[in-house]
C-alpha cells in the first residue's frame, strides 16, 4: 500500500531537519555561551558553565570569566596576574580555551616553584566602564600585577542600558538550527534597534574616568597596573591617532607602563584586531618577556 504524498513529504522534511541539525552541530553550532543582563556591568557571563563553540572548548568559571574556578586569594606557591580586557583577551569563540592569551601566558610564566595564575577579567565588547565596574565588584583576586589590554575603539565604548548589543545569547537556542537562524539574523536585528548615543567626546571622557577608577582600585590593592595597547592591522602600518592616541596619552600622563603590540613582530590576526591562535601565542610571549623580572612571584604587598 502506497503512502500518501503528504506523508512522504513529511518524512523527507523530518529527515532533512535531522540531517541539518546533525551537520550544524558538527561545525560547532547549538551550544553558545549564555550571558545575563546586569545593571552595573551591563551584562556578564553565566558562571560555572562549559560550552563547545565552533569546535572550541569554552569554560566559564565561578567568577564568570573564561578560566577555571579559583579561590578569592592566591594559594601557597601561587602568584596571580589579572588581565583585564574584552574579546581580545576573552579569545572570542574561534580560539580554544588552551589557545587564549591568558592560558598560554600562565604556562609561560609558571616555574617549578611558582605557579602563575593569569585571570582574564574579560568579556567580549566590554569597555573601560564595564571593566571598572567588574573590578570594583570583584577586586583583584589577590593579584600583585594587573594589565589592561585596550584598542583604540575601546575609549569610545560605553554601556547601553537596553541590552540591545550584547554579543552573547541571553537564552539557550532551540537546537543547532535555531542557533544558526539567530546567528544569521541577530546582527541585522540589532542594527535596527534605536538606542541613545552619546557624543564621541562624552564617551571618551566617561571611559577615561573609568580608567582612572581602575588605576585607583589597583593601587589601593597594592598591585601595579600596566597597559597593553593592541594595535589594529592598519595601525601597524601608520601612526596611532584618534582613540588610540587618547589611550596612549592617558597611560603617559599617569605614568602607567606601556607595552605597544604594534611594535611586536610576529603577531598574526584573523581580522583587523583579533589575534589568531599564533598571534595569541606571540602576545603571550611578549607579555612573558615583559614580566621576566620575576616580580609576579614576589607576592602582593598587602
Instruction: Report pLDDT digits (tens) over 201-235.
Output: 999 999 999 999 999 999 999 999 999 999 999 99
Cα 13 to chain centroid distance, Å, stands at: 40
What is residue 78's DSSP assignment? E
Quickly list DSSP for 147-177: EEEE-GGGGG----TT-TT-SSBSS--SHHH
Q: With b meaning 16 or more CB within 10 Å and e meaning fewer, what string describes 108-140?
A: bbbeeeebbbbbbbbbbbbbbbbbbbbbeebeb
Instruction: Report pLDDT digits (tens) over 24-68.
Output: 577 667 789 999 999 999 999 999 999 999 999 999 999 999 999
Using DSSP, state whether 275 is helix, strand or coil.
strand
Domains of the chain as residue ranges with CATH: 61-158+198-298 (3.40.50.1110)
What is residue 4's DSSP assignment? P
Looking at residue 298, what is its pLDDT? 67
Instruction: Report pLDDT digits (tens) over 69-126.
Output: 998 889 888 999 999 999 999 998 999 999 999 999 999 999 888 999 999 999 999 9
* CA–CA gap between residue 97 and residue 40 (Å, rounded): 27
Looking at residue 110, what is its pLDDT? 93
* CA–CA gap between residue 134 and residue 156 (Å, rounded): 18
Which residue in the block uniquely carries the three cell numbers 601608520? 238
Residue 40 in grid coordinates: 552595573
Q: Average the pLDDT over 260-277 and give the result.
A: 95
* CA–CA gap between residue 31 and residue 54 (Å, rounded): 9
Looking at residue 48, what is its pLDDT? 97
* CA–CA gap between residue 189 and residue 193 (Å, rounded): 7
Using DSSP, state whether 288 is helix, strand or coil.
helix
Whole-model pTM: value is 0.90
Amino acid at each position: 500500500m502506497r503512502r500518501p504524498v503528504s506523508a512522504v513529504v513529511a518524512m523527507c522534511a523530518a529527515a532533512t531537519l535531522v540531517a541539518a541539525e546533525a551537520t550544524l552541530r558538527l561545525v560547532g553550532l547549538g551550544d553558545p555561551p549564555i550571558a545575563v543582563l546586569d545593571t552595573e556591568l551591563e551584562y556578564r557571563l553565566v558562571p560555572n558553565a562549559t560550552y563547545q563553540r565552533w569546535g572550541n572548548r569554552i569554560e566559564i568559571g565561578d567568577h564568570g570569566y573564561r578560566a577555571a574556578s579559583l579561590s578569592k586569594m592566591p594559594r601557597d606557591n601561587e602568584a596571580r596576574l589579572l588581565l583585564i580586557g574584552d574579546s581580545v583577551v576573552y579569545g572570542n569563540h574561534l580560539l580554544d580555551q588552551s589557545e587564549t592569551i591568558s592560558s598560554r601566558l600562565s604556562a609561560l610564566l609558571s616555574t617549578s616553584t611558582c605557579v602563575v595564575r593569569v585571570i582574564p577579567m574579560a568579556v567580549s565588547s566590554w569597555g573601560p566602564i564595564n571593566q571598572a565596574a567588574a573590578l570594583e565588584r570583584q577586586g583583584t583576586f589577590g593579584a600583585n600585577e594587573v594589565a589592561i589590554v585596550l584598542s583604540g575603539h575601546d575609549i569610545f565604548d560605553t554601556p547601553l542600558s537596553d541590552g540591545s548589543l550584547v554579543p552573547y545569547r541571553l537564552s539557550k537556542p532551540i537546537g543547532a538550527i535555531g542557533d544558526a537562524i539567530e546567528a544569521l539574523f541577530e546582527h541585522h536585528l540589532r542594527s535596527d534597534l534605536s538606542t541613545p548615543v552619546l557624543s564621541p567626546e562624552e564617551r571618551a571622557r566617561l571611559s577615561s574616568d573609568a580608567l582612572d577608577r581602575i588605576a585607583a582600585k589597583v593601587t589601593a590593592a597594592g598591585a601595579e597596573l600596566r597597559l597593553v595597547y593592541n594595535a589594529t592591522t592598519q595601525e601597524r602600518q601608520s601612526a596611532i591617532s584618534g582613540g588610540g592616541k587618547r589611550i596612549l596619552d592617558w597611560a603617559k600622563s599617569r605614568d602607567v607602563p606601556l607595552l605597544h603590540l604594534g611594535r611586536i613582530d610576529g603577531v598574526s590576526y584573523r581580522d583587523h584586531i583579533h589575534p589568531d591562535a599564533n598571534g595569541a601565542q606571540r602576545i603571550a610571549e611578549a607579555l612573558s618577556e615583559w614580566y621576566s623580572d620575576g616580580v609576579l612571584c614576589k607576592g602582593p604587598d598587602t
